[in-house]
Amino acid sequence: MASAKLLLLSILFWWLLAPAAVRAQGPGAPLPSVGLRPIERAPGSTILGSTYLYKGRKLGSPFSVEIPIYELNDPVAIRHFRRFRTWTTVGRLTGLASVAYVLFNRTPDRQTSRTIYVGSLVASIGFSLISNHQVDSAVRRYNAVLRDGRVGLSAQPTPHGGAAVGLGLTVPLVGLDN
- Domain-wise residue ranges, the chain: 36-148
pLDDT at 156: 83
What pLDDT, in 10s, does the model give residues 101-144? 778 877 778 888 788 888 888 998 899 999 999 999 999 999 99
Query: What is the pTM (predicted TM-score) of this model?
Result: 0.64
Of residues 165 and 88, the one with the higher pLDDT is: 88
d(CA 176, CA 143): 8
**HSE toward the beta carbon, residue 41, CA cutoff 13 A:** 17
d(CA 33, CA 18): 16
Which stretches of 8-135 are assigned E, i.e. beta strand? 39-41, 52-54, 57-58
Which pLDDT band, with edges at 50, 70 and 90, does 76 fall under? very high
Residues with Cβ within 8 Å of residue 43, at least 6 apart in sequence = none
For the chain, the straight-line distance linking the first and the last C-alpha, in angstroms and rounded, comes to: 46
DSSP lists the bridge partners of residue 102 as none
Coil, strand or helix: which one is 149? coil
What pLDDT, in 10s, does the model give residues 20-68? 444 444 444 333 334 788 898 888 777 667 888 898 888 888 899 999 9
pLDDT at 89: 92
pLDDT at 11: 58
